[in-house]
Amino acid sequence: MKFDNRAIPIALAAVLIDTIGFGIIMPVFPTLITTLGHIDLEQATRVAGYMLVVFSVMQFFAGPVLGNLSDRFGRRPILMTSMLCFGIDYALMAWAPTLGWLFLGRAIAGAAGAVYGPAGSVIADSTPPEKRSAAFGMIGACFGIGFIIGPAIGGLLAGLGPRAPFVAAALLALTNAAVMFFFMPETLKPENRRPFSLKDAHIIGAFRPLFHAGNAAPLLLAWFVWQLAHMVYPATWSFWAAIRFGWDARAIGWSLAFVGVIMACVQGGLTGPVIKRIGERKAMIVGMCSAGLAFYLFAFATAGWQAYVLMGISAFQGFVFPAFNGLLSRMVDATRQGALQGGIGSMGSVSSIIGPLLLTQALAAGDHHGFTGANFLLAAILVTVALAVIIWKVLDRVPDKPAEAPA
């Protein structure tokens, strides 16, 4: 995909590097938690869920603030600040002597707000409305590529100890911040900036223009439930794979790398053409059906090779985020794209608070009673609910295809 503004590939690189950093640490996270906490794997699963909740609570409050700040001061300073904070976070977690310090590191990362909201704002600033879904798909492709590189490196670095991947992640984040400082242009035009207001710096304020536009409420509800289900991967995958298949850090790393390959292929190569051909709402349905079927079958998988087959089945879930984001970005004007992306991130944070609690506890409770697929079964039910909302309330209320560019 060709980009007219060099800020877009730099923002996408930020997503890529952030995902590499996240993927690097996933294979060693179970080992680090069990070692620092002197606990077994079942207890570590619960602790990891609580850490995701801390991250998400901080992001819930910080997301709309950062989004509104980016509408006032521009995308570039917010992205640089986020990456600096992530570098500090990973360095802190590399040093952490106790579980308490790991929790502090997750709180810092949550407050930084991650890079997906500002990166989405860069795309919205620089891309015509009819091309945004395909461009948002590139965010997913970078996420997928990051999951190819990150977990593979993490699995290899695990041989140097459970803290080595955190050091590597810190260096990547700080390097990315330096690249932004020297090479990234600002994408928010001065005439599209607006004053910062605390009354808008929360999730309701971020979505207020959407509700005025109409048709947004059921779409947001479906997205929220979908996000709850999708948390089954970051919240439980490493622990579920270790419990169900006995996989070590290297095997978990390679499985995540495989997920990254298929995500990159789908979102980088298929998302744009598919959405152009069938429209955003139908692409969302295809993606949700793919995920729901895979989640249900994951719950009853008995061999590692089956997990790899199911990863392929679930690959088309990559259509959901760009289709959703493309629909919503056309409902607000150029002055509020940052607030919108911050609100989307904040809503994702709510699901990231509730989702890990539900899904990690489901995995731990199921394991205790001899059924280690309870987390994926719950995720499948949630996807079914989201799909029902899309079909019942959204199917005939949003455009079938992206609006054509004006002549």
| Residues 2, 15: Cα–Cα separation, whole Å | 18
| Residues 298, 48: Cα–Cα separation, whole Å | 21
Q: Which residue has the higher pLDDT, 219 or 277?
A: 277
**Strand, helix or coil for residue 169:** helix
Please identify which residue in the block is written with the tokens 């590939």. 9
| Residues 27, 40: Cα–Cα separation, whole Å | 16
* Highest mean pLDDT of the ranges 101-105, 129-133, 152-156: 101-105
With pLDDT > 70 as the criterion, what percentage of the chain qualifies?
84
Residue 197: count other Cβ atoms within 10 Å of its Cβ.
12
Return the half-sphere exposure (C-beta side, CA atoms, 13 A cut-off) of residue 115: 35
Joined together, the tokens standing for residue 11 give 């923002």
Joined together, the tokens standing for residue 344 give 């989307």
Q: For residue 159, what is the DSSP state?
A: G
Query: Which amino acid is present at 282?
Result: K
337 pLDDT exceeds 50?
yes
Q: Which residue has the higher pLDDT, 376 or 263?
A: 376
Rounded mean pLDDT of 278-283? 84
Please give the pLDDT value at position 286: 92
| Residues 286, 294: Cα–Cα separation, whole Å | 12
| Residues 11, 121: Cα–Cα separation, whole Å | 10
Please give the pLDDT value at position 335: 64
Please give the pLDDT value at position 272: 79
Please give the pLDDT value at position 341: 64
Joined together, the tokens standing for residue 170 give 């810190």
Banded model confidence at residue 400, pLDDT cuts 50, 70, 90: very low
The residues, any chain, with a CB within 8 Å of residue 56's CB and separated by 6 or more, are 110, 349, 350, 351, 352, 353, 356
Q: What is the residue-averaged pLDDT of the chain?
A: 80
**29 CA to centre of own chain:** 18
Banded model confidence at residue 291, pLDDT cuts 50, 70, 90: very high
Give the angle subtended at the CA of 123 by the CAs of 79 and 352, to the nearest 5°.
Answer: 65
283 pLDDT exceeds 50?
yes
Q: Which of 299-303, 328-332, 387-391 has the lowest mean pLDDT?
A: 328-332
Joined together, the tokens standing for residue 157 give 């670095």
Taking the whole predicted model, whether its pTM rises above 0.75 is answered as no
| Residues 382, 388: Cα–Cα separation, whole Å | 10
Please give the pLDDT value at position 406: 37
| Residues 38, 93: Cα–Cα separation, whole Å | 17
Query: Which amino acid is present at 87?
Result: G
| Residues 153, 137: Cα–Cα separation, whole Å | 24
Residue 370: count other Cβ atoms within 10 Å of its Cβ.
6
Q: For residue 330, what is the DSSP state?
A: T
Closest CA to 91 of 14, 31, 177, 7: 177
